[in-house]
Structure formats: C-alpha cells, structure tokens
Amino acid sequence: MAGKKAIKKATKKATRKATKKATRKASAKAGALSAIVRNILRAKGVGDAALARLEAAGLGRREDFRVVGDAGTLAELTGLDAGVARRVMAWALGSLAGAGGTVVVESPDMVTCVRCGARQPKDYKSGDLCVHCGKQAEPVFACYWCSASGPGRYCRACGASFVSPGELELAILLKRDGLPKDEIPKRLEALSPAEKEALWGRVHKR
Ligand SMILES: [Zn+2]
Ligand SMILES: [Zn+2]
C-alpha cells in the first residue's frame, strides 16, 4: 500500500515539475523577439545588448511595446538612448496613430458634377445626368482608338481607357505608330516631358 502511495506521489511531483518547466518555456518564448522584430529594432539603432535587455524585460512582439506605452518608459526599462527609444515607439505605435487619425477617405468612385459640383448619389452610373442641374455630370471624352466619345473612364464602344483631352492627339499618334490599345495610356504616363515634346513636334509636323 505504502509503495503505491509513494509512486503516486512521485508521479504527481514529476507532472508538476513538467508543467512548471513548460510554463517557464512558454514565458521565455513570449519574451523572445521574432527575427523580423529584431531586424526592425536593429534598423532603429537598438544594439545587441539593448535587444537582450528588451527580451529580459519581456518584450517580444510589437504589441508588447504598446503596453510600454511611451518612449520614456521604454528608455527606463532598457537603458536605450532617448532618440532610439522614440524611434522604436513611433514604429510600435504607428498603426495605432493611423487608426486615430482624421483622414477622410472618399470613395474613389464618388462622382461630382463637372458643371455644378454636386455630389452624385451612390447608385450613380457613368453617363447619368446630374441630380442637381440635370446636365451630363461627367466630362465627355473622345476615344483615341475608335473616335467614339462618352463619359466615364472607359470608351463604351471599344473599352479603351480615356486619356486626358490635352493628350488626345499624342494618343492618336501612338496608335498610328502601332502601339496596342492598352499600351497607349501607360506609355503616355511613362513619357518624360522631353519625350512628350518630341511627340508634339511630330503631331504638329503633319
Ligand atoms: Zn450638376
Ligand atoms: Zn473607343
């Protein structure tokens, strides 16, 4: 009987020991900096000794720095230079600061009338008349490819994306040069001012 009890006790002890070990291992892991965090911190000017102190303080993931809260506390914790601590905290809190910002992102599809400036409703479709003044809300573009014209960003006749009216003639010239339809707006965007100048020279020569 006594032997059985002793075995039970020993097993219990062993289990407890294993659990303790596992817990210690897990907490060590939580304080270990991942390779990416380590590299970012190095780039911010954190040296190896300071990295070790960060780990010792229990900082592992970027989220942990949010617990620290500010550069002063981080400097106190780790003995980091104040400037470096500030850079680290700016990085750690960066996405938080962005979330609290007041930048209003307008839907890229939001259309305002070119004649009266009125915002068009959400269900506005390219070509609709302005809800406010009753005129064509969008500018009408001419197509460099098929010479149809219409509102919106794309030609309804051939699907080409419109280029700015000021560069229509350049686009037509590029078409004559044999450029494919989809390449023309991209090429126009990529041209340097000098290259554009040269193209205009050719347009005016004809
Ligand atoms: Zn209008
Ligand atoms: Zn077209």
Please tell me the number of the ligand nearest to residue 117's CA: 1
Look up residue 1 and give its amino acid. M
Query: In which domain, by residue range, is 160 found?
Result: 140-205
Residue 4 maps to a domain: no
Residue 80, pLDDT above cutoff 70: yes
Predicted confidence band of residue 31 (pLDDT cuts 50, 70, 90) = low
Q: Got the DSSP string for 53-118?
A: HHHHTT--SHHHHHHH-SHHHHHHHH---HHHHHHHHHHHTHHHHHHH-------TT--B-TTT-P
64 C-alpha vs ligand 1 centroid, how far in Å? 52
141 C-alpha vs ligand 1 centroid, how far in Å? 17
* Length in residues, the chain: 206
Please tell me the number of the ligand nearest to residue 156's CA: 2
Predicted confidence band of residue 131 (pLDDT cuts 50, 70, 90) = very high
With both helix axes pointing from N to C terminus, report the angle between 35-43 and 48-56 in degrees, rounded to the nearest 10: 130
Residue 129, pLDDT above cutoff 70: yes
152 C-alpha vs ligand 2 centroid, how far in Å? 12
Residues 69 and 123 in one domain: no
Residue 154 maps to a domain: yes
pLDDT at 28: 44
pLDDT tens digits for range 161-170: 999 989 999 9
Please tell me the number of the ligand nearest to residue 116's CA: 1
Please tell me the number of the ligand nearest to residue 150's CA: 2
Q: Are 112 and 118 in contact (CB under 8 A)?
A: yes
Residues 88 and 155 in one domain: no
Domain count, the chain: 3
Residues 85 and 132 in one domain: no
